[in-house]
Structure 1
Amino acid sequence: MSPSKNTSPVATPAQRHAGLRVIAIYEIIKTLCLVLVAMAAFHLDRQQNFERLVHWLEHLSLADSNGLRWKLVGLLQDFGPSRFVAIGAVALGYAVLFGIEGIGLWMGKHWAEWFTVIATGSLIPLELYETLHHFGWLKLATLVGNVAIIIYLVRIAMQPRASR
């Protein structure tokens, strides 16, 4: 009779490390995207740059996208250049938050696991509302992905430190 193998569903340290690294990369990608959004928003706060973008969009010729283009032009004109400073500041704030999460997870810090759970979990109600009232496949995928990240990180963070 052969000895029984341990078939516990608990991930090995190498698997946990890999999972944390994947989430860290995801957080860093979000950080970089938000920094780009912030840079663009801060650039659009100047009246001349704003008017140039609106003019470019008005004269852009894209088949089957006229409705979307005019909605975007209208939205930009409603915002005006002054609101882009606020958009840039919010994007930069989230970039800092996601950057802290990503670096902490990459380094395997226990506090980063809980920090990410709390920060990501705080956005779940908003994501759920948006998904239910303005459905989109990308919104649903983001919601499901963030819930999976929270569940994974809570399971990892709840393990005794000695087994980590």
Structure 2
Amino acid sequence: MQTKVIQPGTALAPTSTKADATVKHSRDRGLLLIGLFKLGKALFFFAIGAGALQFLHKDLGETILRLAPKLHVDAEGKLVELLMSKVDLIDHHRLRQISMGTFAYSALALVEGVGLMMEQSWAEYLTLGLTISFLPWELFELARDANWFRVGLLLINLLVLGYLLWLLKRKRRAHESA
């Protein structure tokens, strides 16, 4: 460490030290949390897309019947019956579309998550826009079939929306006053 002798009558000038350079920028914990949530969504949807590709050239009905006993589900019960009726609607082309859609959504969530963790303004606006754009669909699904999962998902997205609106408003005020 350097010691400076200050002569009487001289002004104290700010000095820069190594310690000043290592002072970390305080991170916004809300953005970090939202970014981690988005990265989790990216991993989840990537896994869904990869799983869809695994079933591309397989008989889905046969797979369900084979998995039912392993999951301790009655192979002749209502759940398996429901799945069998839905699986008949999915052909190879549709499975490929599902896979590509989930990969695309995974990539978008990855971009959002990384951008938010890096505290990029464009990521805040992107997340704000996407969150708003999915609200009508979430409300429709909730009105169609209300359950705790959908209520929870809606609440999480409303919290994200509220936080981002508050953060962007605070940043705008700070910019205007500077």
TM-based fold match above 0.5: yes
Aligned 8 A contact 2:52 2:95 in 1: yes
1:24-43 aligned at under 5 Å gives the runs 24-43=35-54
The match for 2:128 is: 117
Cα offset for 1:58? 6.0
- In structure 2, what is the Cα distance between the partners aligned to 1:65 and 1:109? 52
Contact 1:35/1:95 (<8 A) preserved:
yes
* 2:98 aligns with one of 74, 81, 87: 87
What CA distance in whole angstroms lies between the structure 1 residues aligned with 2:66 and 2:88?
13
Q: In 2 relative to 1, CA 82–57 (structure 1 residues): closer, same or farther, beyond 3 Å? A: farther
> Which range moved further: 79-88 or 92-101?
79-88
Aligned-residue offset at 1:69? 1.7
Structure 2 length as normaliser, TM-score?
0.75
Q: Which runs of 5+ in 2 are unaligned?
A: 1-24
- The code of the aligned residue for 2:132 comes to G
Query: What percent identity do the matched residue pairs reach?
Result: 23
The answer for the alignment partner of 1:107 in structure 2 is 118
Alignment of 1:147-162 (within 5 A): 147-160=158-171
Runs of 5+ unmatched residues, structure 1? 1-12
Q: CA deviation at 1:158?
A: 2.0
TM-score using structure 1 length: 0.81
Conserved in 1, the CA contact under 8 Å of 2:38 and 2:109? yes
Q: Taking structure 1 as reference, are residues 138 and 58 closer, same or farther at Cα in structure 2, changes over 3 Å only?
A: closer
Q: Give yes or no for contact 1:58–1:70 (8 Å, CA) kept in 2.
A: no
CA distance, structure 1, for counterparts of residue 68 and residue 93 of structure 2 = 20
Deviation at 1:129, TM superposition (A): 0.7
Number of paired residues?
150
Q: Distance in 2 between matches of 1:18 and 1:156?
A: 12
Rounded to whole Å, the distance in 1 between the matches of 2:39 and 2:49 is: 15
Structure-2 residue corresponding to 1:19: 30
* Pick aligned residue for 2:155 from 135, 144, 161: 144
After the TM superposition, which of the residue ranges 28-37 and 152-161 deviates more from structure 2? 152-161
In the alignment, which residue of structure 2 is the partner of 1:56? Answer: 66
Per-residue CA deviations over 1:112-151 (Å, capped at 9, x if unaligned) read 1111000111000000010011111110111111011011
Q: Contact between 1:24 and 1:105, CA under 8 Å: does it hold in 2?
A: yes
TM-aligned CA distance change 1:98 to 1:138, over 3 Å: same
